[in-house]
Amino acid sequence: MSRSLLLTPGDPAGVGPEIACRLASVRPELLLVADPGLLERNLERLGLDCKVLECDPEDDSVHEPGSIRCWPVELARIETPGRVDPANAGYVLDCLGRAADACLDGRAAGLVTGPLHKGVINQAGIPFSGHTEFLAERAGVERVVMMLVAGRFRVALATTHLPLREVPDAIQADSLRRTLRILDHDLRFRFAIERPRIAVLGLNPHAGEGGYLGREEIEVIEPVLEAERQAGLDLIGPLPADTAMVPERVREFDAVLAMYHDQGLPVLKYAGFGQAVNVTLGLPFLRTSVDHGTALDIAGKNRADAGSLLAAVDLAMQLQSNAP
Ligand SMILES: NC(=O)C1=CN([C@@H]2O[C@H](COP(=O)(O)OP(=O)(O)OC[C@H]3O[C@@H](n4cnc5c(N)ncnc54)[C@H](O)[C@@H]3O)[C@@H](O)[C@H]2O)C=CC1
Ligand SMILES: NCC(=O)COP(=O)(O)O
């Protein structure tokens, strides 16, 4: 049997465990990193007649029909669907940390993550911004890039989970240059795009309107784009963000680089919510994730759509087969 694709279901009170169970029951390549009892309770709620088989990434036992495979990690407290509990924050990060380590040392083929709740982890006293930042730190990588993918529409971010007030100061020449290099590299070598055409958005309305609505485009973004074009990257911009992603135009690009989270992601999610995938570029291993959060309002009600998780698993398999 080939190395497993690990799946961390995320917060035990969210929709992650139920969509993970639904998918793992039909996708034998998945090894869930989770509490076995949590999975059994979800299988029962879903009415799925499926056993939970405990194993670890080194275990090459063949998947048994009618079962899901679980690398066990113990919950601190039994979950209540829809109600996040700070007592389980350590469990969520333990699942993620173990999975990342198994990818880093080659025991696993890659990682697909379900949704966790950033707020409750901080509430537990653990500073936490997101999977992206956590995995970068665990891997010892200074810079990674978050990119969401909906079919051929791809939106990457120059900054990730930052208060809006801090965004302009975070857009510096060196970080922007490194973001562009990672994006270009991973589009070529993970996504097999020969010469990626990347549209870069401005930060200010109308990309600064020639300096009358902000100077970041003139002082930071344009000089970086010019230097990177000289280095061989195919870059367009800085473009006004309000018109760069209209459907006819966005088809010309292999990816759009937005300057901040809520500049790029609402457009991508409007186009593909429920089917889109979050990919971390620049990591030494493959990581994809769902496009949605914990959806506490519908957790435990068997109403969650597993479309984005399925797309995340499929994309991980595709990227794995593209690897040189
Ligand atoms: N990959 C991850 O770990 C992500 C985690 N989050 C976290 O999730 C928490 C809640 O975030 P929200 O902004 O409320 O977004 P959310 O995505 O959890 O919910 C927004 C709306 O979409 C619906 N929805 C979400 N996923 C669905 C699914 N699979 N099927 C059907 N309907 C679905 C929800 O019911 C809700 O009405 C936050 O703590 C946030 O940080 C948010 C995005 C990604
Ligand atoms: N909006 C995307 C998001 O919040 C997911 O972030 P991450 O947990 O994958 O870093």
180 lies in which domain range? 143-281
Same domain, 14 and 42: yes
Q: What is the 3-state secondary structure (H, E, C) of 205-262?
A: HHHHHHHCCCCHHHHHHHHHHHHHHHCCCEEEEEECHHHHCCHHHHCCCCEEEECCHH
Q: Is 190 annotated as a binding residue?
A: no
Q: Is 117 annotated as a binding residue?
A: no
pLDDT in tens, 223-235: 999 999 999 999 9
pLDDT of residue 2: 67
pLDDT of residue 32: 97
Interface confidence, given as ipTM, is 0.98
Work out the mean pLDDT of the chain and round it to a whole number: 96
Same domain, 4 and 133: yes
Cα 278 to ligand 2 centre (Å): 7
The answer to whether the CB of 86 falls within 8 A of the CB of 283 is no
Same domain, 117 and 60: yes
Cα–Cα distances (Å) from 219 to 176, 211, 244, in that order, read: 13, 9, 21
Percentage helix, strand, coil for the chain under 3-state DSSP, each rounded to 5: 40, 20, 40
Same domain, 224 and 189: yes
Same domain, 175 and 192: yes
Quote the DSSP letter at residue 31.
Answer: E
Nearest protein CA to atom 44 of ligand 1, as residue: 293
pLDDT of residue 28: 87
Model pTM?
Answer: 0.96
Same domain, 53 and 107: yes
235 lines ligand 2 (CB under 6 A): no
pLDDT in tens, 36-66: 999 999 999 999 999 999 999 988 666 777 8
Three-class DSSP category at 200: strand
- Give the number of the atom of ligand 2 that is nearest the alpha carbon of residue 135: 10
290 lines ligand 1 (CB under 6 A): yes
pLDDT of residue 65: 78
The CATH number assigned to the domain holding 1 equals: 3.40.718.10
Same domain, 100 and 13: yes
- Give the number of the atom of ligand 1 that is nearest the alpha carbon of residue 308: 29
Quote the DSSP letter at residue 324.
Answer: -
Cα 102 to ligand 1 centre (Å): 27
130 lines ligand 2 (CB under 6 A): yes
pLDDT of residue 255: 98
Same domain, 92 and 4: yes
Count of C-beta atoms within a 10 Å radius of residue 240: 16
Which residues in the chain show pLDDT less than 70?
Answer: 1-2, 60-62, 324
Peptide bond before 28: cis, by omega within 30 degrees of 0?
no
Q: Which ligand is nearest to the CA of 134?
A: 2
Cα 132 to ligand 2 centre (Å): 7
Same domain, 184 and 287: no
Same domain, 165 and 252: yes
Same domain, 6 and 100: yes
pLDDT of residue 3: 86
- Structurally, the chain folds into a number of domains equal to 2
Phi, psi of 287 (to 5 degrees): -140, 125
Same domain, 156 and 247: yes
